[in-house]
Copies of this chain bind each other. A is one copy, B any other.
């Protein structure tokens, strides 16, 4: 029994220590990564070029965002009403 207690304390200390260590390193790594990205790979301006690698099955550019939004809402509505 005593053994379980001391193992639990050990587990808590090493566990919390490790969790904090890992996430602190992650804070630094993330911050560093963001700086590198912003420096070396600045976000391309929002032109069609930006989305080249993105899979665009068949979508032509002729549908404006408002229509898209309307369809989006309609579909959401449709789906929430469906199969009731």
Interface residues of A, Cβ cutoff 8 Å to B: 51, 54-63, 65, 67-68, 70-82, 84
Contact = CB atoms under 8 A, between A and B. Distances in A.
Contacts of A58: 72-73, 76
Nearest to A50: B84
What copy number does this chain have within its complex?
3
Contacts of A73: 58-60, 62-63
A51 B65 CA distance: 29
A71 to B, nearest CB: 4
Most buried by B among A55, A58, A77, A82: A77
User: When A and B form their complex, which 6 residue pairs have the shortest distance between CB atoms, in order from nearest?
Assistant: A59-B76, A59-B80, A63-B77, A71-B74, A56-B80, A59-B77
